[in-house]
Structure 1
Amino acid sequence: MFKKTSFMLAGTLMLMAAIVMVSKPALLDMQAEAASENGAQAESSLVRSHSPILGQADAPVTIVEFFDPACEACRAFYPLTKRILETYPEKVRLIVRYTPFHGDVSDKAIRVLEVARRQGVFEPVLEALLARQEQWASHGSFDESAILEIASEAGLDRAAAEEQLTSADVQAVIDQDMADVRANQIRQTPTFFINGEPLDPFGMQALIDAVERHVQATSEAEDGQ
């Protein structure tokens, strides 16, 4: 287990206080199903087979994040979720759900991310776009060429991507994720679920604590077998 104090990042918390207005989503009576015996990802309105997965695919603790790459709060949370995955490499996975709440800029970045997933470079492209978010999405600005340039530098095949961005397959993924955004009453990004339970109260320390509880419960269950 890691110490709570290791995540008390004052500057980041000040950023969150300034930019996040949290409306509590209704408690949902649902939980992502476990992967089937053949390793295929079971479907639910929280977890889809197409959803990007960071961490070990069959980890017993699942964080689902409704995520907008143009969202400053999502950028602020990413180092924390990455650290959690590094702390529990065999216990925790992160599933990303596309949530384009910032209009055209979000839609474009999400299309690039989905094509990156299909090309096998989702994580490096994600990290590059978040690290340079101010370059392409600062104060609502929209620099489409910068998104593709940054993604290409991170490993995206730009020529292939430009043909895939508006494909029916990519559109179907976005449409499904938006349907799930509505089904789960998502009103802000990021919104987190841990093993199907909404994160409530919301916050960095609350996410740490919730993951730690689920990891501990999973470990105790395994020890009791």
Structure 2
Amino acid sequence: MSLKPAVSKTDHIQGKKDSDIVIVEYGDYQCPYCGAAYPVLKEMMKKYGSKIQFVFRNFPLSEMHQYARPAAIAAEAAALQGKFWEMHDAIYENQEYLSEAFLLELAEKLELDPHQFNTDIKKLEVATKIDSDFESGIMSGVNGTPSLFVNGRKFNGSPEDLLQLMSEIAK
């Protein structure tokens, strides 16, 4: 399966701009497998972030994970204050504490403007971004999380396999 649509400026991107290697993760903030993948992907970025581009797209499995969508909303609201990756990391690093109240605590810890954050979490554009990420996942053949794509093609291995692959190709 291939990635649809291609990575664009609406995506959350870290690492090297215009890299030859682009990795996209479809993730759910409450998914235990995404939680387990997080430190592996973080290590990959630490080692190869100067050579690769990493993109995160929301794929909240709301039927199974009641806080997946609220967490995605919190991350997108943080993005409006320029702190998407900080919120993304904070959520994964504290996954076992996820709740609506805890997400507000994280916003406070990250020194987000509380009034703006509370306004932004209700914004249609925030919900729309999550929905469009989710739809792009469906179109790209995502059927679970985390789903990883390397240069637009679905990667069928584990995050550890991806880290191994990067050690071979991102030299």
Matched with 1:215 is: 170
Instruction: Flag the 1:155–1:122 CA change in 2: closer, same or farther, 3 A.
Output: farther
8 Å CA contact 2:28–2:60 kept in 1: the answer is yes
Matched with 2:158 is: 203
Q: For residues 105 and 96 of structure 1, what CA distance do their matches in structure 2 show? A: 18
Supply the AA of the counterpart residue of 1:146: F
Tell which structure's C-alpha radius of gyration is larger.
1
Match of 2:9 among 49, 56, 59: 49
Instruction: Flag the 1:214–1:46 CA change in 2: closer, same or farther, 3 A.
Output: farther
**CA apart distance, 1:102:** 3.3
1:97 aligns with 2:52: no
Q: Which has the higher strand share?
A: 2
8 Å CA contact 2:28–2:145 kept in 1: the answer is yes
Matched with 2:85 is: 123
* Runs of 4+ residues deviating >4 angstroms: none
**CA apart distance, 1:159:** 1.6
Match of 2:129 among 170, 173, 180: 173
**CA apart distance, 1:190:** 0.4
Structure with the bigger RCO (C-alpha within 8 Å, sep 6+) is 2
8 Å CA contact 2:107–2:117 kept in 1: the answer is no
Query: Structure 2 matches for 1:1-225, cutoff 5 A?
Result: 28=1, 30=2, 44-103=4-63, 104-136=66-98, 143-200=99-156, 202-216=157-171
**CA apart distance, 1:213:** 4.2
State the TM-score, normalizing by the size of structure 2.
0.89
Q: Provide structure 1 residue ranges, at least 5 long, that are not aligned to the other structure.
A: 1-27, 32-43, 137-142, 217-225
Instruction: Flag the 1:175–1:48 CA change in 2: closer, same or farther, 3 A.
Output: farther
Q: Provide structure 2 residue ranges, at least 5 long, that are not aligned to the other structure.
A: none
3-state secondary structure, aligned to 1:94: strand
3-state secondary structure, aligned to 1:78: helix
Q: For residues 134 and 182 of structure 1, what CA distance do their matches in structure 2 show? A: 27
Aligned residue pairs total: 169
State the TM-score, normalizing by the size of structure 1.
0.69
Identity of aligned residues (%): 25
Q: For residues 78 and 169 of structure 2, what CA distance do their matches in structure 1 show? A: 31
